[in-house]
Amino acid sequence: MSDSREPSPAAHGLTSVVIVTADSGVGVGDSVVRVLRSTAPVEIVVVDNASRDGSIEQLAARFAQDASLRILRNAENLGFGTACNRGAAMARGDAVLLLNPDCLIEGDTIARLRAALDADRRLGLLGVLQAGADGRIDPASRRRDPLLRRALMSASGLARFAARWPTLAGVDMPANENAATLEPVDAVSGALMLLPRVVFDQIGGFDEGYFLHCEDLDLCRRVRDAGWLVACANAVRVVHGKGGSSRHRPVFVAWHKRRGMWRWFTKFDPAARRPLLRVFVRCGIWAAFAASVPLLLLRRRRGARAP
């Protein structure tokens, strides 16, 4: 790996925050406000995937006088990774922060993450610990590659015994109070990822063969394969509201999640080279999807009836 992370003078120190929206609700404005309060220099590129809930019009009106915010409107929903790539293509900074519209950062979050990048030139992608409104840390903040064995451990519930029997470890890496402040991991959550612009460009951004889900795991894997480190800044926490737009289309989201799982498996898991295992995994993925549909529809109906 060569260290070629030298920004152009005009872009030095500027972080381009790319936020992808798709019927994300008015809460995206709160996320934008938090970013604009950053103590580090920022610009914001909002890429909208054909929202119809009026949220993007409200956002445009609210920040019409702020030159730090630009909005790109796609005529159709292109998917998360493709939208991120389009936003990054417009970015002017020497670092790109990919941020979900339901993530609320603090004023010093970006400055702290950039300081970590500057302190270790091997870093190619950096994430944080994400917490829900109740303060609980999302275990998906730090993850292992979802190899078949690990996925089965997680799905079966056996991963809960991994502290005693490490061979049962699943995909998620639960928060560890004794973990290093900056901990190398296989992957972090795509809800917040900071990359030096040169790294994002080197690996070609997101694989646009994914539509929604698992593209973040793919990106992290390719960053590592290119010789860079992926790490979680365990001392930095953000509040993640978990899917404003996903709740309205649970079956759509579940469908694309399974497609993403299959794509990652066939690209990276050595088990995919074995024909019988490929058949087993493919059948298992879609059987699980079919079994989940009734419950997803029931939850959606209950949610629609809730006051």
Query: Residue 177: its pLDDT value, please?
Result: 67
Domain boundary among the residues 242, 264, 286 is at 242
Averaged over 126-137, what is the pLDDT?
91
* Overall average pLDDT of the 280-286 stretch: 94
CB 74 within 8 A of CB 50: yes
How high does pLDDT run on average in the chain? 91
Same domain, 263 and 238: no
- Report if residue 168 sits inside a domain: no
Same domain for 279 and 235, yes or no, is no
Q: How far apart are CA 56 and CA 72, in angstroms?
A: 10
Q: Which residues of 273-286 are buried (b: 16+ CB within 10 A; e: fewer)?
A: eeeeebeebeebbe
* pLDDT score of 2 more than 60: no
- Do residues 13 and 127 both lie within one domain? yes
Nearest by Cα to 95 from 18, 208, 185: 18
For residue range 146-185, list pLDDT tens digits in order. 999 999 999 999 999 998 999 999 999 987 767 778 999 9
Whether residues 51 and 28 share a domain: the answer is yes
Query: 252 and 132: one domain?
Result: no
Reported confidence tier of residue 295, pLDDT bands at 50, 70, 90: confident
Q: Are residues 189 and 123 in the same domain?
A: yes
Question: What's the pLDDT score for residue 1?
Answer: 46
The answer to whether residue 161 sits within a structural domain is: no
The DSSP string of 155-200 is HHTGGGGTTT-GGG--SB----TTS-SEEE-SEE-TTEEEEEHHHH
26-64: pLDDT as tens digits: 889 999 999 999 999 999 999 999 999 999 999 999 999
Is residue 124 assigned to a domain?
A: yes
Q: Quick one: 236 and 258 in the same domain?
A: no
d(CA 130, CA 105): 10
In this prediction, residue 175 carries a pLDDT of: 74
Is 274 inside any structural domain? Answer: yes
Q: Is the pTM of this model over 0.95?
A: no
Which domain range does residue 68 map to?
9-137+175-242
Residues 67 and 215 in one domain: yes
Split into its structural domains, the chain has a count of 2
pLDDT tens column, 194-227: 999 999 999 999 999 999 999 999 999 999 999 9
- Residues near 186 by Cβ (< 8 Å), separated by ≥ 6? 143, 144, 145, 220, 221, 224, 230
How far apart are alpha carbons 101 and 17 in whole angstroms? 11
Q: Which of 191, 81, 185, 177 is nearest to 123 (CA)?
A: 185
End-to-end CA distance of the chain: 55
